Every structure is written in structure tokens, then in C-alpha cells.
Amino acid sequence: MQNRFPLWKNLLVLIIFVVGIIYALPNLYGDDPSVQVSSTRPDKLAQEQANQIESAIKTAGFAVKDFEFKDGLVLARLNSADDQLKVADLLRDQLGDDYNVALNLAPTTPAWLRSLGAEAMYLGLDLRGGVHFLLEVDMDAAVKQAEDRYNDDVRLALRTEKLRYQSVSKDNGFIKVKLNSADDKPAFLTLLGKDFRTLDVTEPSEQDQVWLKLSEKEVRDIKKFAVAQNMTTLRNRVNELGVAEPVIQQQGENRIVVQLPGVQDTTRAKEILGTTATLEYRLVDTEHDVQRAVEGHVPVGSRLYTDRKGAPILLDRRVIVTGDQIVDASSGVDQDGRPSVNISLNGVGAAKMGKLTQANVGKPMAVVFIEYKVETKLIDGKKVRHKQKVEKVINVATIQGVFSHRFQTTGLDSPQEARNLSLLLRAGALAAPVDIVEERTVGPSLGQDNINKGMLSFVVGFALVVLFMIGYYRLCGVIANVALAFNVVIILAVLSMLQATLTLPGIAGIILTVGMSVDANVLIFERIKEEIRNGNTPQAAIYVGFEKAFATILDSNITTLLVAVMLFGFGTGSVKGFAVTLIIGILSSMFTAITGTRMIMNWVYGNRRVEKLSI
């Protein structure tokens, strides 16, 4: 007969529906407000430490629904979000910065579903609550830092090659090198061709000068690296903050979106994310007079700094170790009880530190703290953001013996400063300063309110569609509604399989799909009614209705799909969330409205003689 599917096609559709139900089910079970604890050290938490954490929570009088310890990770499930915040604060105070304490929403999915890999979707910031930051990377500062490095590298290369020069200075994007004699120019150009190929070389009319400039390709690479490195560093810092399921994405050429679900302390989040802090270790210049340097006579191989009290100090221009060679850092106290940071270096940094300390025992070494600060000032009634690079010597100590991999840095004002500095050093320094240009906070209660309103919109919209289809198309409308329900199930299943993040615009996309998905059935049913009016039998009308309406349905859905793909490709943030659910919904609705509805129609009408359709 015309209206019958082969057995394999019926089984395929049924398998897809069953799988969809299984993977959509976890979203019905909800979540428990939980606190997650892990170690910041390479060693994972031991059972003894987990027992101590559990004891600390219960001793404080908090009821724990469940306490899990697996793979060095502790997860305490609590009864309310209020208890969750209080327990997190308690553990942060007691455990210190050797542990990450993260707020989490632990799913209550049954074990048999988890064994099949079925997990609930993540909830976005607007549904769960938290903070949203839009950060702008200072590309000009990234290029300026590169120019500073090349300026120092060129000066060092000239001294290494014993080429005498009068000055090496930066001016309007150029590194201008003035040699002692034009006779040294060929040797200098050879040096540039060997070690500085990425620089564009310009020879001005003055025979003893060479001007260097970053090439356009080098500038593009620097800017691209600055964004990529900053994203990596921000991700490390967020991990150190202890945030579960953060979102860190690039937006445009120079902006980064950071979303921290569950975080309500925006002050600490801004302090950690936006701070560009690192350390440099330099030898103190004891051979030259500091006062002459203050008067403007700074020796060629030295730089003038100030300490925390504002006193001038002369340091060697050569940097021994920088922050990017630090692989681990933890806060603590020294033998005198003062706050300190314990530093561990990588192989390259340890080798340099060991070699230098061996050759300079008894000489003073300084620690320079470098930080970029952004101040907002009112100029002519407008807010202007002013960036300032702050470099201060926080510690000067005499090298008592040879050390390399591990040592201690003191001179910090407070234990909190030591903790923040150790966190920043562990996570790495930002490649370029970032400005927070947008900030939004969503409270947990507002997130729950968004969920409730979104669900209400979905239920009302779905109910209206169901009533309309039953009232207008009768039994065929019931069949279309069954297919519509499976369409929603498949959308949820696919989102869960992809472990996508559901946002409020995503819910809007699902609701829109509910309204759009029955369009295909309306086209099919109207074509069936038209065939019956033309005198065809009900069986023939069903067959022709599905066959003839397919091309129209395909055309209309492809145009909508193309728009959704463009939204996903060029949109950001909430627009992407809407586009994802819309794309999945369009593909799913074509399957359920055409194949699913036809299979049910075949079951109802395909195996018997039909005199009249309930349409």
C-alpha cells in the first residue's frame, strides 16, 4: 500500500525517539547547590583531607545532603543557595589559597542515566546568576611592550658584538640607533639581518644612524598573540578563583567576554581578572652613585626605580628572571612572621637564577613589582580612562647562597596581598593590559525568576498551539501535537548531548521553534484537504499531501536555517545562544513534522480502508 513505512524506517524513527527521551530526561531532575573543593597543588586531595573538610562543614552546623569524594575532588551537596554561599566562605577562610573552593550546581541525575553519558544542559549566566565582564585588550600597550623589548635587545646586541654607539632611543614608533661611526654600519646591518629579521630597517640621510620599526606582520602577530595569551591567562585566573563552568570567549579583534556563573563578589573578580601584575628580579647597581642618577645621569646599563617608601634605587638593566618563568607560587610567612610568596621557577629560569646567584654571593638583589593601573578622570565633563604603569621595588635582599628552583620573596604589605600576588603569578601575567568596559551582575533569585518566566512562556505557547491544532485539524491535529512534543524532546536531547549552555535567548529559540514546527504540518494537512476536495481517496490524499508539500517545507526551512547560521557565525553571546537552539529546532522539526507525523499517520490510516479523514 502507498502509506506504509518499511520495518527498518519505523525502527529507526522509534530508536531516535527513545534515545531522545533518555538524553532529555536529566533536565527534569534539577540540581543541588554545592561547594566543590580541589587542590591548587599538583598533588590531589587525599581521603584524610576530604574527611577534614566534611568535619569542618558539619561542625559549623550546616546540613549536608550528600558528600562525595572522587579523583581528588570534594563535592558537598547542600540544601539551599544560602547555605552554599556560607559554606564556601567558611572553607575559603579555613583552607587558605592551597585549595580552590568553587560554587557549583551538581546535577541530581540518577546513576543509570549518568552511566549512559546522559547529563543535563548547563545553565547560562542569565538563568543561574553570576557576573558578566566584557574586557578590552589594550593593543597599543602590547605593541609598545614589544618595542620596549626590542629597544633593550638591540642595545644588548650592540654591546655583545662590541659595536660602539651613542644612543638607542624610541621615537614615534621607531627605534633610532645612532652609532659612533658610519664605519660600524655594515656590521650592524649584518647583525640585524641575523638576529632581528622581523624589524623593518630604514637608513636615513645621516650615515651613522639606522632606524628600526616593527613590520606590519609583526604588529598583527603581536596583537593576535596578546588576545590569545590573555584568554589563556584569564582562564587560569578563573580556575584559581574556583569558578565552575566559566565562559571565556573572544569577541571581535580585541575584546574578551568572561562570564562567571555563581560568582557574586564582583570586587574580587574584577581585582583578579583586570590586574596586570608580575615580578622581575634584578641585581642592585652598587658601582654607581644613586644621587647622580636622580639628577639625570643614569648609567647606560642601569635603570632608576623607587621602593615602596619612594626612595630612589639603582638597578641593573638586565633582568634575571621574569614572571613568565614562574611555574608555581604560594603565599606564606617568613621566619620573622612577615607575609611572603614562595616561588618555583621553570628550568630556564632556575638555570639563570642559579648561575647568577653563584656569581654574586654577598651582593644585593631586588624584586620589582610591576602593575598596570587604570584610573578614570573627569576631563571637560567626560570620563577618560588613563593607564599607568607602576614599577616599585618591593624587596632588596643580600644573596646569602646559591639557589635556583625554589626561593622566597618578602616585602609585601599584607597576607591578602601575598595571596593575590601568588594567585596572579600561578596563573601567569597578562600579555597586555585589559580594561573592563562592561559589567553586569545577575542575582540567583533573578536567574530563577528568568527560568520561571521562560517556562511559563513555553507552557502557554505550547498549550495554545496544541489547542489550535486539535480544534482545527481534529485527529490529525493530535498526531501533529505528538510529533511536536517529540520535537521538543529531541531539541533538549541534542542540547544535552552537546553539553550546550542554555540561556534565556535559547529558551526563546525553543519557543519560536514550537510555533514554527507546526507550519510544516499545516502545509501538509491543507494539501491533503485540497486533494480530498479534488476527489482523491483519503489514502491517495495522504500520500500526495506529504509528497507535494515536501519541496515547499524544505525551501521555507532552508531560508530560515541560513539566517540562523548567519546569526551564529556573526553574532555574539546571547545571539549565539538563540541561533544554536533555532538551528537544532529547525532540523529537528523537519524530521518530526515530515517523517514522525507520517509514520503515525501510516499507523493510524495505512493498514485499513479509510472512507473519511478526521481533518
Instruction: Please give the average pLDDT of every successive group of 10 residues along the chain, which has 615 residues.
Output: 77 90 88 80 76 87 86 84 83 75 78 85 76 85 82 80 82 84 83 82 82 87 84 76 72 85 66 68 87 84 83 86 75 79 81 85 84 64 67 80 78 72 67 78 72 85 89 88 90 87 84 83 87 84 84 85 87 78 89 86 79 78
Residue 242's pLDDT is what? Answer: 60
H/E run at residue 484: helix 444-497
Question: Sheet containing 73-78: which strands, arranged edge to edge?
Answer: 64-70, 73-78, 31-39, 99-107
DSSP E strands in 145-226: the ranges are: 165-171, 174-179, 199-202, 209-214
Spatial CB neighbours of 246, under 8 Å, sequence gap ≥ 6: 235, 238, 258, 259, 260, 261
Residue 15's pLDDT is what? Answer: 92
Nearest of 31, 79, 34, 87 to residue 56 by alpha carbon:
87
- Asked if 480 contacts 521 with a C-beta cutoff of 8 angstroms, the reply is yes
Residue 155's pLDDT is what? Answer: 81
The conformation of residue 594, written as its DSSP 8-state character, comes to: I
Nearest of 370, 369, 374, 368 to residue 434 by alpha carbon:
374
- Going 43 to 47 to 52 to 53, the CA torsion angle's sign is positive
Cβ burial of 507 (10 Å; 0-12, 13-18, 19+) is buried
Max CA-CA distance within the chain?
A: 110
Residue 41's pLDDT is what? Answer: 63
Helix axes 266-274 and 216-241, enclosed angle (nearest 10): 140
Torsion of CA 564, 566, 572, 573, to 10 degrees: 10
Task: Compute the residue count for the chain.
Answer: 615
Residue 428's pLDDT is what? Answer: 63
Give me 94's grid cell.
579555613
Residue 427's pLDDT is what? Answer: 62
> Please, what are the domains in the chain?
7-26+443-605 (1.20.1640.10), 31-107 (3.30.70.260), 139-218 (3.30.1240), 275-441 (3.30.1360.200)
H/E run at residue 9: helix 7-24
Q: Is the pTM of this model over 0.75?
A: no
DSSP E strands in 490-543: the ranges are: 501-502
**DSSP track, 432-481:** S-EEEEEEEEE-HHHHHHHHHHHHHHHHHHHHHHHHHHHHHHHHHHHHHH
Residue 386's pLDDT is what? Answer: 64
- Asked if 368 contacts 394 with a C-beta cutoff of 8 angstroms, the reply is yes
Nearest of 456, 582, 476, 576 to residue 524 by alpha carbon:
476
